[in-house]
Chain A
Amino acid sequence: MPGERSSSVGAVWAILIKECRGEWRTRYGLNSALLFAVTTLTAVSFVVGRIGERTDILAALLWIVLMFAALASLAHTFVREVEGHTLTLLRMIASPTSIALGKLIFNLLFLGVLEAVTVPLFLVLMGGPPLHWARFLEVLGLGSLALAAAATLVGAVIAQTRGRGALFAAVSLPILLPVMAGAVSGTRGQWNGVPVDAELRLLAAYAAALLGMSLVLYDHLWED
C-alpha cells in the first residue's frame, strides 16, 4: 500500500496529466472558451473599433472577456466528473485535496493557454498604450491564480448540487468581485504608469486566502 504522504504529490501530478490528456482529446473546454473570447473581441472591435487610450475601458474589457471565457470551463472540471459518474472512481484513488489541487493546477494551465491567445488578440484588435510587461504579467499571473482558485473552489462545492449552472454564477460572482476589482485596477495602473503595488498585494492576499480556505475545505467535500 502506498504511503499517504508520498502518494499525494504523485496523485496531484497524475490527476493533472489526466485532465490535460482528457482536454486534449475532447477539447471541450478550450474550444468553447477560445470561441467565446475570439467572438466577443471580434464583435466588440467591429462595433466600437480600437479603443486607444481609454485604459479604464480597456482594462475592464480585457478582464471581463477573460473571466467569462474561463468561468464555464473552469467549473466544468468538477461538473464533468459528476455528470460522467467518475467521481466515485476519483474518490477511491485520491484524497479530495489531491483531486482539487490537480484540478486547480490544470485550471491555471488552462487560463495560461487562454490568455496566450486572448491577450495578443485583444491588444491587436483594441489597441491601447504600450504595456509595462513586467507589471502587466504580474497582475495577469496573480489575477489568474485568484480566478482559478475561486473557480476551482466554487466548482468543487457546487458540483453535486442540482441547478449547478445557476448556482455557480450566483456563488462565484461575489467571490470574484475583489479579483476583478484588483485585476482591472492593476491593469489600468500599469498602462497609466502608476504604481500597482496595492493591487498586487490585494490579488496575492486574496489568492492566498482562497487557496488556504480551499485546503481546509477540500477534505470535507463530497460527504454524502
Chain B
Amino acid sequence: MSAAVLPAPAVALASLSARELAHRYSPRRGLEPVSFEIEAPGVAAVTGPNGSGKSTLLRIVAGLLRPNRGACALRIGGREIERGARRLSVGLATPELSFYDEFTVGENLMFAAQTQGLADPRGRVRESLERVGLWVRVGDRADALSSGMRQRLRLAFALLHRPPVLLLDEPGSHLDEAGRLMVARVVREQGERGLVLIATNDERERTLAGRTIELRGRGLGDPD
C-alpha cells in the first residue's frame, strides 16, 4: 500500500495557550485548572489519570465545549481563531467520533470534504485514507469496519482538511502494531508542519511528544 504524496511541508504558525482553563460537568467531574503555552511545530502529550479531563481539554481546544473558567486561545498566523471557527483549523480524532453506518468509508469522508468546502474532495479523501492505510476499504460500509479500522477512519477524518492543529484522543486504541506505527508516522509528519496534541497514557505515544501537559485532576483515585 503506498502512502499518499504529501503537500510540500509548510510550517504553520500555530500557537495554543490556556490560562487557568477549567471545566466542571459536576462537582467531581471535569478539568482542573491548567495553564500552558505551546507553539508549532511540535507535539505535546496530554496525560493524567482517567477522569482528569484529557478529552475535555481536547474538546475545549476544538471549540466543541465552552469552558466554565479560564481562557483558551488558538492563534494561526498570529490571528486568534474564535471558538466557532476552530473546526476549520483543527483536526480531531476522538473515540466519540462516529460515522454514518449506511454510508461507505469513502462516502463518509466525501460528505465531510464537501461540507467543509475542500478543493478536490476526491483527491483529499484518497490522500487521507492512504495516509492511514485504509484506501483499500474505501468502498466498505462504515458499519462493516472493525474497531481498529474505525480508529484509522477517525484519523483520516482528522487529516482530511490538512489542519495546522491536530488533536488526537488515545490515537492508538484498538490499533495493531502496524496501526501504531502509522500513528507514530502521522504524528511525526504533522508535528513537523504544525501542532499536535495527543491525549494519552500510553508510554509509546508519550514518547512521540516533545513536551507533556500533565493534568492533575482527581480522576478516579481521590474522590475528596
Contact = CB atoms under 8 A, between A and B. Distances in A.
A1 interface: yes
Contacts of A98: 115
B94 interface: yes
B102 interface: yes
B103 A22 contact: yes
Interface residues of A, number: 31
A13 B62 CA distance: 24
B112 interface: yes
Nearest to B161: A1
A158 B98 CA distance: 20
Given A1-B89, A18-B111, A88-B98, A6 B66 contact: no
Given A88-B94, A223-B66, A95 B84 contact: yes
Tell me the interface secondary structure of chain A in the complex: helix
A197 interface: no
Contacts of B88: 1-2, 4
Contacts of B100: 18, 22, 84, 86
B207 interface: no
Nearest to B97: A88
A14 B102 contact: no
Interface in B72-125: 84-85, 87-90, 92, 94, 96-103, 107, 111-112, 114-118
A7 B98 contact: no
Q: Of residues B62, B92, B111, which shows the largest number of chain A Cβ atoms within 10 Å of its Cβ? A: B111
A219 B98 contact: no
Contact of A89 (B59, B85, B102, B112): B112
B64 interface: yes
Interface in A1-49: 1-4, 6-7, 10-11, 13-15, 17-18, 21-22, 25-26
Contacts of B89: 1
A1 B101 CA distance: 28
18 contacts: A1-B161, A2-B116, A2-B161, A4-B88, A7-B116, A11-B115, A11-B116, A14-B115, A18-B100, A84-B98, A85-B96, A85-B97, A88-B96, A89-B112, A92-B64, A92-B87, A92-B90, A224-B65
Top 7 A-B residue pairs of the complex, sorted by shortest distance between their CB atoms = A7-B117, A2-B117, A85-B98, A14-B114, A14-B115, A93-B115, A25-B102
Interface of B: 59, 62, 64-66, 84-85, 87-90, 92, 94, 96-103, 107, 111-112, 114-118, 157, 161
